[in-house]
Amino acid sequence: MTVTYTLVGLPSGRRGQVARGTALRPALRGLGIGIESICAENATCGKCKILVEEGSFAEYGVVSKRAHLSAPQPEETEYFERRRDLLSRRGWDLGRVRLACQAKLLGDVVVTVPEESRADRQIVRKSATVRNIEIRPSLRKYLVELMPPTLENPRADWSRLACGIATSMALVRSGETGLPGPRDLTIDHACLRRLPDVLRQSNWRVTVSIWQDRQVVRVEPGLTEQLLGAAVDIGTTTLALYLCDLTTGETLAVETDMNPQIAFGEDVMSRIQFCSSRPDGLHQLHKSIIKTLNQLLLRAVASAGTSADDVLELVVVGNTTMQHLFLNLPPMHLGAAPFAPVTSGAVDIKARDLGLATNDAANVHMLPAIASFIGADTTGVLLAEEPHLQDENWLIIDIGTNAELVLGNRHRLICASTPTGPALEGAHIEHGMRAAAGAIEHIRIRDDTMEPEWKLIGEDDWGAGRPKGLCGSGVIDAVAELLRVGVVDRSGRFAQDVAAEGRIRNGADGLEYVFVHAGESSTRSYISLTQKDVRQIQLAKGALFVAAQSLLDRFGIESPDKILLAGAFGSYINKANAMAIGMLPQFDLERVFVVGNAAGDGARIALLNWDKRREAVPLSGRLTRHELPADPEFQDRFIRSLAFPAR
């Protein structure tokens, strides 16, 4: 008869009866508590640390003692001896912390599984709702130790490694079905070329990185733990790259820049025309985006103290035109009716085929697009915000050079796209700039003195630092404040009769309001908002407003339950001011949520969780595209929406 003991895993408190002599790692997995490992239970990787709780746990009917586990063998003792530093940092006693792959059950015991050891780690994302994102990347690492070849067994390096991996995978992930055998594994050719040297230099002990449980993409000497990827959001005007640790979910570095394709045309149509009008047009646009993304990547890895060779996967989102240009696909047919893209499904392609500076064998995943003008960036928004799981009706507005709007709930979702121009991203504004250090991100005008106050990106205090220009959120604040204090009237005109001494002047483009005098700026030039700037904002917010209204009409409701404002502003916009200038229909401010770069967040989620990529495919097919009307009545509504709302 098998002797069994009670095992309790904290913090979840799951418990069960386990046969005497079972190691804790498989025993805990039996209770539904997954524990990390990459070393095939060899007491080498230390991923499976647990803490033994001592005492009487009456609620479980258990008296727990360290002695109820098998004594540490020399490998385990040695492992912890060499890591005294780490234990003292964590405040863990030597002896209380054990490796779950080594410690065997000899009596009732209660253990705590610390977050860092859990296989089902999560990161928390807070937006309109709080939710957990499970870390389940498409890459995993395994430590593999091989017998070197001999004259009796001179089998090929790759067959030898493939067998070792299959064994290590089976041990690390025992109980999981559908794991590949050595015959199903493949190895990237670039990785294969380096294999013989790495195996011999490391004395046949290597860490392999496996993509999607099927292809070896990297082999490193000895035990290595770092596993990196990047999420990329390609906007028409701005680019953002997030360098992420794929095991912790942590974002190690964020780099942003202007899209260099602006030099070839400011909106998607002008870039499509550039491709149509020149034989090397596509080549130029493709090369320019790849070059800048490589710069962002190199900056990010430098600031994280790692190398581009460590980056093994990229997840990319963008609008359909940006998707085509990034993938080097001709976008010409997006430029004329019926606006058919070349491809709209999810794409996996080797980074080297696009000239990216990541590891040679890295994969690039592009999320699927939704419709001709609703790209993978909107799919990213859906993954980040999950309107398709809500009972309420949500209206999500993703603001960029084009704005995409999604409206609906778990039963029905519709979407639309409208060009707004780059003004809301700080571009095409006289003293605009992208959201970067030195940009004015927030502005207010004092009622008493009519003097402006500003806050810069990268500074904690109002008024600190020397401004460079206005980013998108600063522009919105500027317009809202000028409207509030009466410098700009509801029609968008600068009022001449306002007492704002030395602030209103006649510039090259008519009247302008000076927020920063030349002496205060870092550029030695004054910073103002001009009449022309106000007109740009009016056009942009008018387009947003009528698009949202048209979507609500089509859906058959007067108002959504929540509004989510997304966009790669860099800084969060002031939702009250966005409402004040009429970017949104009149709405309870409490139910407006500013959610930052949701498209980029969606790319990060798809990078950290492979399942989400698979969910994205049917999800992207669930939306109904709503074509904004082109009739005179709609145009009339647009013109009427240009005026600012009454206060």
The residues that touch a second copy, with contacts defined as CB under 8 A, are 149-151, 153-160, 187, 189, 192-193, 195-197, 200, 327-330, 332-333, 337-345, 349, 353, 369, 371-372, 627
Q: For residue 463, is it left (φ>0), alpha (ψ between -120 and 50) or beta?
A: left
> How much of the chain is helix, strand and coil, in % rounded to 5?
35, 30, 40
> Looking at beta carbons only, is 553 or 627 nearer to a second copy?
627
Least distance to a second copy, CB of residue 227, Å: 25
8-state DSSP, 305: T
In whole angstroms, the minimum distance from the beta carbon of 602 to a second copy comes to 20
Beta bridge partners of 256: 240
Name the residue with tokens 């700037």. Answer: 533
Q: Which is nearer to a second copy, 191 or 440 (CB)?
A: 191
Least spacing, CB of residue 336 vs a second copy, in Å: 11
CB of 416 to a second copy, least distance (A): 15
Smaller CB distance to a second copy: residue 184 or 451?
Answer: 184
Identity of the residue, 130 or 630, whose beta carbon is nearer to a second copy in the bound complex = 630
State which residue, 415 or 514, has the beta carbon closest to a second copy: 415
Beta bridge partners, 596, equal 566
Burial class, 53, CB count within 10 angstroms (exposed 0-12 / middle 13-18 / buried 19+): middle
- Smallest distance from the beta carbon of 252 to a second copy, in angstroms? 30
Nearer to a second copy, 333 or 535 (CB): 333
Provide the token pair at 250. Answer: 């942590």
Q: Are 264 and 323 in contact (CB under 8 A)?
A: no
Of 65 and 350, which CB lies nearer to a second copy in the complex structure? Answer: 350
Tell which residue, 200, 191, 79, has the closest CA to residue 139. 191
Residue number, 319 or 372, with CB nearest to a second copy: 372
Write the secondary structure of 392-420 as one string of H (helix), E (strand) and C (coil).
CCEEEEEECCEEEEEEECCCCEEEEEEEC
Give the shortest CB-627-to-a second copy separation in angstroms. Answer: 8
Answer whether 489's CB lies under 8 Å from 471's CB.
no
> Which of 66/333 has CB closer to a second copy?
333
Q: What is the rounded CA–CA span in Å between residue 231 and residue 241?
A: 6
Pairwise CA distance, residues 297 & 309, whole Å: 11
Residues 6+ apart with CB under 8 A from 350: 188, 361, 362, 363, 364
Shortest CB 78 distance to a second copy, Å: 32
**Least distance in Å: CB of 55 to a second copy?**
55
Dihedral sign for Cα atoms in the order 51, 52, 53, 59: positive
Q: Give the shortest CB-339-to-a second copy separation in angstroms.
A: 5
Q: Give whichever of 211 and 242 is closer to a second copy, judged by the CB atom.
A: 211
Q: Which amino acid is residue 605, in one-letter code? A: I
Gap between the Cα atoms of 612 and 615, Å rounded: 5
Q: Smallest distance, Å, CB 249 to a second copy?
A: 30
Query: Among residues 204 and 545, whose Cβ is nearest to a second copy?
Result: 204
Place of tokens 């058919």: 340
Q: Which of 387, 295, 368, 361 is nearest to 327 (CA)?
A: 368
Sequence letter at residue 608? L
The least CB distance from residue 297 to a second copy, in Å, is: 21
> Parallel, antiparallel, or unpaired for β 439-445 and 469-470?
parallel
What is the smallest separation between the CB atom of 199 and a second copy, expressed in angstroms? Answer: 9
Closer by beta carbon to a second copy, 112 or else 624: 624
Residue 151 has which token pair?
A: 């004259």
Upstream peptide bond of 338 is cis (omega within 30 degrees of 0): yes
Minimum distance between the CB of residue 364 and a second copy, rounded to whole angstroms? Answer: 11
Question: How far is Cα 539 from Cα 549, in angstroms, rounded to an integer?
Answer: 15
Check: CB of residue 278 under 8 Å from CB of residue 326. no
Nearest to 291 by CA among 209, 367, 357, 204: 357
Evaluate whether 427 touches 265 at the Cβ level (below 8 Å): no
Q: Rounded to the nearest whole angstrom, what is the least distance from the CB of residue 195 to a second copy in the complex?
A: 6
**Residue 591: CB minimum distance to a second copy, A:** 35
The smaller minimum CB distance to a second copy, of residues 172 and 371, is found at 371
Residue pair 313/227 in contact (Cβ under 8 Å)? The answer is: no
- Nearer Cβ to a second copy (158/569): 158
What the block records as the tokens of 101 is: 């792959």
Euclidean distance between CA atoms 252 and 276, whole angstroms: 39
Alpha carbon 42 to its chain's center:
34
DSSP class of 105: B
Q: Maximum CA pair distance of the chain?
A: 97
Of 281 and 438, CB closest to a second copy = 281
